[in-house]
Structure 1
Amino acid sequence: MYKVRALLIAEKPSLMRDIERVYKRMQLPYTIEFASFVGHVVELKEPHEYKKEWKKWDLAVLPMMPERYEFRVKKTAYKVYKELEQKLKTGRYDFVINACDAGMEGENIFYSFYKKVGCKLPVKRFWTSQTTDSAVHKALTNLLDDNDVLIRNLRNAAMYRMIFDWLIGLNLTRVATVKGGRTIKVGRVMTPTLAIVVQRELEIRNFKPEPYAQIELQLPEMTALWFDPIQNTNKIQPDKVQEIVARITETALVKEVKTERKAWPAPQLHSLLELQKEANKFYGFTSAMTLKIAQSLYEKKLITYPRTESKHLPTAFAQNIAAHLEAVGTLDEYQAVASDILGNKANIARVSASRRYVDDKKLTDHHAITVTDVKIGRKKLTEAESKVYHLICKRLLAIFLPAYTFDKTTVILQSGGELFKQTGNTIIEKGYTTLYEAFRKKGEHPLPALQVDQLLPIEDVRVLAKMTEPPPRYTDSTLLDAMFHAGRFVEDAQLQRILKDAEGIGTSATRAEIMEKLLTIGMLARQGKALAATDFGIDVIASLDNHDVVSPILTAVWSKKLKDIVDGELNATTFYREMLTFVEETTARMKALQMEVAEKEIVVVGRCPLCKEPVIEGFRAYTCQNKACKFAISKVLMKGKVTPTDAKKLLTGKETREIRFTWKSGKKGKARLKLAEGKLEFIF
């Protein structure tokens, strides 16, 4: 008797193997064969592949809007594509199972391929936020119908987001490049992100430090600063300091003592944004690095799906949270804490019912990131993976621990008619913060016991000369936060609400990629942990002259529309018609701009060993100026950075300094580089 046969296509080989292993222990009414992508295997065609006249960068042909959008196979995935195409041509299968990541991007990866390959087979959806054996078993047993409303809406939103980004990016990039006289990349999320950093950079460059002073009283067991209660400041103009000091007597009278008890509960569970911010704050990890680590932990079945905007768990998940706590408890450092939590079922029930941590109404495609019920056992983690995994473990344990409770005391003193103030905290209950002792930078400073009308001797009066400081540059953490809270950068209240509803600009999955792209094309630069706008980036934003692509409003409004498609509140066809009208109008507005961008300074690092023409420094490589010559030295080779000094040495026949490289196996080591007949060699 013929048995129904399906082809399951996973997003990555690692997930395919995990699903296949679970499947072999199951009895299903159909047979499954397995295959996998390697991420995206197809992409939208380039403009010239639609029309020959679009190859020429000419304003007259813009905007470019294909009548029908078509895909091409990515060069790096050609072999994978052909193997899958051959499988589908055999006629062996009755349906296909889409086992890409459960989200908008997973739908995009699968259906871009499905359309390109011309497949007509029915599709079932494998949907899970975890890769544990039990979660995979459940997903295989309960495959979703491809016409499920959520799945269909996600697919439509994913496709239109891709098309919209193609239309905005290519049309506006071409206008900006033609009018600006050099390559200027423009993007729906990338350009407003650049504008945020440029605004801060200009504030820093235009900042003029001004002197001010503070007056500090040294009292028994404490200090206090002068303050102005009307202006609510402790800063004094330098010419007023001596006048105030002259009025201060030898004693200070306690005018007011106010103590307020505060209780800070544990923070909510991690969204990807929160995990990226925390990893950057504690360990200096870039947002892209944290996303990569989280994806690796997910594939090792240790954490749930990482590309999530949510900070809440679903009720059904919370009801089985004990198994996840048991997995955390296998780690020596958390054994005692986890054991105490597991021994208090009433507390677990209380937290599981708390809307702060568990709320079905506040879920997005996926719930918050947390550990799975898989014990770490003998799994080998890199140092970076271990750090991120422990952050996720701590956050889960924290929600079951008491709040951090302390008494905040504010004391106001008076001397010679002048007021002075000091605050201090007395810890009542460390609560969940005991998990974070290693990250404490300084201890608490309780004030001595004081009574109103008490007279204190003044031991010393200090005048502190200070200068105002510019705002700090963005770090990965603070820029992620600025992108999420992009409503701060607009004044209109309605637009602020739209940005809040759209959760800022970009998504948790794309914000890191946007930052790295801006760094790669030279519009941003890293200065230690800080991100600075380059002169090029500043010129680009200035030349765009408040075009709507610069404002976060553009991406927020359209992200809200995409969300409405997912929620079934906006028809996809209506969205597409609005999109075409907008692209036409916004391209016309950019054509009307007068753009001036400074020419990029050409830095020559040496002579080409093949054709003897100058080798110049680019964004990604040191390349020969002779376009017919293919000689180039990559700036980043196996995670090792090749500096201009290294390039100069190579081009004069010398060896570089020792550079730290990371091989495909993950092994790290140092080596020098040398050029031999135009090719790089490693010298160990």
Structure 2
Amino acid sequence: MARASADRTLFFFEKPSAMRQLQRFFKAPTTICVSAEGHLLAAQEPAAIRPAWKAWRFDDLPIALDEIPVAYARNRSGASHAGRIEAIRGALQGVDRVIIATDPGREGSMIAWEVLEHLGYRGRVERLRLGALDEVSIRRAFAALAREPDSGERDYAAYLEALCRRYEDWHLGLNGTRAVSLRLRPPAFREPWRFGGVQTPTLAILADLERRIRDFVPRDFFKVAMPVETETGAALTLWHAPKERIFDRAEADAIREAAAGWSGPLSVVQKDVRRPPPRLFSKDTLARRCAKRFGWDPQRTAATAQDLYDSGFLSYPRTESEHLPESQSGDAAAILAAIAGCLDDVAELVPAGEAIVVRRGPRGHYVKDPGEHHAIVPLRKVPRRGELGPEAWRLWELVAKSYLAAHLPDGIDARTTVAAEVATPPGPKRFAVTGSVVRAPGWRAVYGSEAEDEDPVPGKARRDDEPTTGRLPPLRDGAAARATDATVETAVTEPPRRITRGELPVVMGRLIDQVEDPVLRRALENPANPNEPRGLGTAATRDAVLPKLEKSHYVVLAKGKDPAITVTEAGLAFIDAVRRVFPAYGDPVGRAVFEADLAEIGRAPSRAEAVRRAEEFRQRTRARLDALIAAVAGSERLAVAAPSPDGAGRPPTPAMVAFATALAARKGLRLPRGLKQDAAICRRFLDAHAEQREAAAPGAPRPPTPAMRRYAEALARENGLDKLPDDAATDFSACRRFLDAHAAPRPDAPAKPSPRKPAPRRRTRPPAGADRHADTSN
């Protein structure tokens, strides 16, 4: 494209809404504004590039290209973007300079650069980085643009990083899915085994947790309670509940016997405990909070936050940071004043002047360098009630209150711990109890009774807190007391918690919290930004991974506001196959380190260096593909039994749940986690604990188990029948139908699944669109 002679500037926006926000700043007649509508170009499908690639043949693999051809993408209504690109082509005529004003980040850079390169534009390019769309932020962005003459060169590096991510996604999704589906997938599984650079190691995290939950064996452990009475008549109960749990009942009994005869002084320690406010929101932590509070899925939260950003009410939402730059601490007074004028219920809490608390450093809210994008915060521009829809208002209010809390004093609790040391045969043991009183609510006044403790680490068992009590009697340190009794209390260990839908993006971003090995933890540290350790995917794309895993039937979601994720038999089998053949693709830590190397492309100091790094990455990707296909070619198909009709991922029938519940009550058993949501878990429980069936004569109908028959007879009596129908008493299938018809669904039981459709005939080639499996979550 020819260079222009006139000094004309074209601003390239990502969306029309953002263009309208900024057009009021452009007065010059030589200024032109255009906008995209998301990505205007898309990678072509294999069959569109070469028709022979439509059929799935292992001998064609690996399919590798130096560059992936692109075609016009389509908007949400299905219309082609060809017209919009041609309009941009016309607008570029006579333009000397293009200023990219898309959303900050590599995806925004790619949206503009891929169109400019497709149209052959060779003029000057600069990058306007808009962290927010309010007037102050816009003016700051223009001031920064004036100070950065090489902004376009550095932005080209971000574009190449995004292009390399798409390059790997396309190649790995295409070749990996076809290879493992054709050579490793057991005949029992008919769906393609979709493969992806991010979704596969993410599934590995969930599968490892699923194995730990399934293999978990509950164990009884013991706590010793010691009621005591002081010389003044005050009474309270102290507990021996060490972090190293007591699993030996004899040891617990020995401690109890010694405690029953104890007398001596009480240690009373009083201290003030400061509770600082929580961190500000990143995209992932905001999604987690909205899932917990509102029941939103992460994509719904992201879309609502994006709308608020486009309207100028929130800062850029696709961020991994929970901190603000120190340079923005001076904005707090104006933003808090705006919040005070908008939220009547907290207006009186808003500090002014010197009362504003600014916490600096990694443990605070302001740091020297918060990363590419800072935390999500409100702006000076605030919405009026009724201006936003109910969901947008709830999210804005959540972020605004978080910002307010961050600038209020710490909460202070007066904490009293009463303890006694008891001499026992195993050695001296500490008995204690703690009581707390709020001395100063501080930031918690923003939330009142809704002030939440720190969120637990997803995928971990609930921690044992120190025994507490609501109120302690007045006591002095050293007060004489004696035990009036001692008892042993039994508790049961719990398995790890399942990761929920809202927690998964946090798990992917903070993979370091899931790792115990100190060597692996060091590998996940990020020296460039210690507050953001290495993780899987990017903040902008993690939300897309779970829907891909669901579509592949690797996972299912339970019921509830923020549903837990369960890995199916297909998901477990897939991960086992991948790890057996090519372990690197089932290694979350290795993938996180790999992605950190990929991010170095975007940090290249010049265009030439970015091009060199990108070419090295493409060569590395092709080498990995060759190794993957060679490993799959030399491996045997995984031997896995066919899923049962009530297989994993499908809910059990109401009769199965009722039968398992009755069986557990009669035998004094605990129902395993997930039994009411997963038929496979329910079936394993019934197979393990129901009585063996009576052997049937050849040709005779299979009889029901004795337990099934007893339960059916009880239901018959409850429903006013004289006796159980003869066929239900002698035929297993008839008994099952009777139970399904008469067992009342429990309030928390899942709905009865629809009948399964007959399995389709095995296809010689995948269904149309089957290649749309590539993991675009990067």
Please state which band the TM-score falls in when normalised by the shorter chain.
Answer: 0.7 to 0.9
Q: Which runs of 5+ in 2 are unaligned?
A: 229-233, 454-467, 527-532, 651-749, 757-778
1:371: Cα distance to partner? 0.3
Report the counterpart of residue 658 of structure 1 in structure 2: none
Hey, what's the Cα distance between the residues in 2 that align with 1:119 and 1:148?
A: 13
Report the TM-score, using the length of structure 1 for normalisation.
Answer: 0.79
C-alpha change, 1:587 and 1:255, in structure 2 (3 Å) is farther
Bigger mean CA offset, 532-541 vs 463-472: 463-472
Hey, what's the Cα distance between the residues in 2 that align with 1:587 and 1:561?
A: 23
Partner SS state of residue 482, structure 1: helix
Any conservation in 1 of the 2:360–2:367 contact (CA below 8 Å)? no
Report the counterpart of residue 388 of structure 2 in structure 1: 381
Partner SS state of residue 176, structure 1: helix
1:12: Cα distance to partner? 1.9
Any conservation in 2 of the 1:258–1:410 contact (CA below 8 Å)? yes
Query: In structure 2, which of residues 342, 347, 350 is the aligned counterpart of residue 335 of structure 1?
Result: 347
After the TM superposition, which residues 533-682 of structure 1 pair with which residues of structure 2 at under 5 Å, given as runs? 533-546=567-580, 547-568=583-604, 571-596=613-638
Instruction: Letter of the 1:310 partner, please give it.
Output: S
Any conservation in 1 of the 2:536–2:592 contact (CA below 8 Å)? yes
Matched, 1:176 2:188: no
Report the counterpart of residue 82 of structure 1 in structure 2: 83
C-alpha change, 1:526 and 1:449, in structure 2 (3 Å) is same
Partner SS state of residue 435, structure 2: strand
Instruction: Letter of the 1:336 partner, please give it.
Output: E
Task: Give the aligned CA root-mean-square deviation in angstroms.
Answer: 3.4
Instruction: Letter of the 2:380 partner, please give it.
Output: D
Any conservation in 1 of the 2:74–2:81 contact (CA below 8 Å)? no
The CA deviation string for residues 528-552 of structure 1, in whole angstroms up to 9 with x for no partner, is 3211112221111122225211111
Instruction: Letter of the 2:179 partner, please give it.
Output: V
Partner SS state of residue 212, structure 1: strand
Matched, 1:450 2:450: no
Q: Pick the structure with more strand per residue.
A: 1
Report the counterpart of residue 722 of structure 2 in structure 1: none
The CA deviation string for residues 360-392 of structure 1, in whole angstroms up to 9 with x for no partner, is 643222111100110212553333323322221
After the TM superposition, which residues 441-480 of structure 1 pair with which residues of structure 2 at under 5 Å, given as runs? 445=470, 447-458=472-483, 461-480=486-505
C-alpha change, 1:512 and 1:402, in structure 2 (3 Å) is same
Partner SS state of residue 525, structure 2: helix
Report the counterpart of residue 128 of structure 2 in structure 1: 126
Hey, what's the Cα distance between the residues in 1 that align with 2:337 and 2:355?
A: 15
Matched, 1:394 2:436: no
Hey, what's the Cα distance between the residues in 1 that align with 2:386 and 2:373?
A: 25
The CA deviation string for residues 425-482 of structure 1, in whole angstroms up to 9 with x for no partner, is 3333221122222324799835434345433354554443332221111123543333
Matched, 1:310 2:312: no
Query: In structure 2, which of residues 232, 237, 244 is the aligned counterpart of residue 223 of structure 1?
Result: 237
1:149: Cα distance to partner? 4.1
After the TM superposition, which residues 295-444 of structure 1 pair with which residues of structure 2 at under 5 Å, given as runs? 295-330=306-341, 331-338=343-350, 341-342=351-352, 344=353, 346-348=354-356, 351=358, 356-357=363-364, 361-378=368-385, 380-414=387-421, 417=424, 419-440=430-451
C-alpha change, 1:102 and 1:277, in structure 2 (3 Å) is same
Hey, what's the Cα distance between the residues in 2 that align with 1:215 and 1:261?
A: 28
Between Structure 1 and Structure 2, how many residues are aligned?
A: 598
Hey, what's the Cα distance between the residues in 2 that align with 1:439 and 1:370?
A: 20
Any conservation in 2 of the 1:545–1:593 contact (CA below 8 Å)? no
Bigger mean CA offset, 130-139 vs 485-494: 485-494
C-alpha change, 1:64 and 1:248, in structure 2 (3 Å) is same
Instruction: Letter of the 1:366 partner, please give it.
Output: H
Any conservation in 2 of the 1:226–1:234 contact (CA below 8 Å)? no
Report the counterpart of residue 47 of structure 1 in structure 2: 46
Report the counterpart of residue 656 of structure 1 in structure 2: none
Report the counterpart of residue 666 of structure 1 in structure 2: none
Hey, what's the Cα distance between the residues in 2 that align with 1:478 and 1:111?
A: 33
Any conservation in 2 of the 1:172–1:590 contact (CA below 8 Å)? no
Partner SS state of residue 474, structure 1: coil
After the TM superposition, which residues 112-261 of structure 1 pair with which residues of structure 2 at under 5 Å, given as runs? 112-120=114-122, 122-136=124-138, 139=141, 142=145, 148-179=152-183, 180=185, 182-219=191-228, 220=234, 222-227=236-241, 232-249=243-260, 252-261=263-272
Partner SS state of residue 81, structure 2: helix
1:159: Cα distance to partner? 1.1
C-alpha change, 1:303 and 1:56, in structure 2 (3 Å) is same
Hey, what's the Cα distance between the residues in 2 that align with 1:360 and 1:70?
A: 43
Instruction: Letter of the 2:223 partner, please give it.
Output: Q
Bigger mean CA offset, 281-290 vs 485-494: 485-494
Matched, 1:511 2:525: no
Hey, what's the Cα distance between the residues in 2 that align with 1:370 and 1:477?
A: 20
Instruction: Letter of the 1:364 partner, please give it.
Output: G
Any conservation in 2 of the 1:313–1:360 contact (CA below 8 Å)? yes
Report the counterpart of residue 481 of structure 1 in structure 2: 506
1:101: Cα distance to partner? 0.7
Hey, what's the Cα distance between the residues in 2 that align with 1:414 and 1:516?
A: 54
C-alpha change, 1:567 and 1:252, in structure 2 (3 Å) is farther
Any conservation in 1 of the 2:34–2:88 contact (CA below 8 Å)? no
C-alpha change, 1:249 and 1:102, in structure 2 (3 Å) is closer
Matched, 1:17 2:20: yes
Partner SS state of residue 214, structure 1: strand
1:5: Cα distance to partner? 4.3
1:29: Cα distance to partner? 6.4
Structure possessing the higher relative contact order (Cα contacts under 8 Å, 6 or more residues apart): 2
C-alpha change, 1:536 and 1:485, in structure 2 (3 Å) is same
Report the counterpart of residue 633 of structure 1 in structure 2: none
Report the counterpart of residue 289 of structure 2 in structure 1: 278
Any conservation in 2 of the 1:485–1:500 contact (CA below 8 Å)? no
Report the counterpart of residue 30 of structure 1 in structure 2: 30
1:103: Cα distance to partner? 0.8
Instruction: Letter of the 2:17 partner, please give it.
Output: S
Report the counterpart of residue 269 of structure 1 in structure 2: 280
The CA deviation string for residues 313-360 of structure 1, in whole angstroms up to 9 with x for no partner, is 22333223322112211121221122xx22x3x344x61766655656
Hey, what's the Cα distance between the residues in 2 that align with 1:176 and 1:131?
A: 46
Hey, what's the Cα distance between the residues in 2 that align with 1:246 and 1:553?
A: 49
Hey, what's the Cα distance between the residues in 2 that align with 1:431 and 1:16?
A: 41
Q: Which runs of 5+ in 1 are unaligned?
A: 606-642, 650-684
1:567: Cα distance to partner? 2.4
Hey, what's the Cα distance between the residues in 2 that align with 1:551 and 1:444?
A: 44
Report the counterpart of residue 525 of structure 1 in structure 2: 556
Hey, what's the Cα distance between the residues in 1 that align with 2:515 and 2:261?
A: 51
Q: Percent identity?
A: 26
Instruction: Letter of the 1:539 partner, please give it.
Output: A
Hey, what's the Cα distance between the residues in 1 that align with 2:106 and 2:235?
A: 59
Partner SS state of residue 262, structure 1: strand
Hey, what's the Cα distance between the residues in 1 that align with 2:311 and 2:92?
A: 34
Larger Rg: 2
Any conservation in 2 of the 1:276–1:291 contact (CA below 8 Å)? yes
C-alpha change, 1:236 and 1:81, in structure 2 (3 Å) is same
Report the TM-score, using the length of structure 2 for normalisation.
Answer: 0.70
Any conservation in 2 of the 1:426–1:444 contact (CA below 8 Å)? no
Any conservation in 2 of the 1:269–1:311 contact (CA below 8 Å)? yes
The CA deviation string for residues 590-646 of structure 1, in whole angstroms up to 9 with x for no partner, is 44343436667789x9xxxxxxxxxxxxxxxxxxxxxxxxxxxxxxxxxxxxx9989
C-alpha change, 1:237 and 1:300, in structure 2 (3 Å) is same
Report the counterpart of residue 673 of structure 1 in structure 2: none
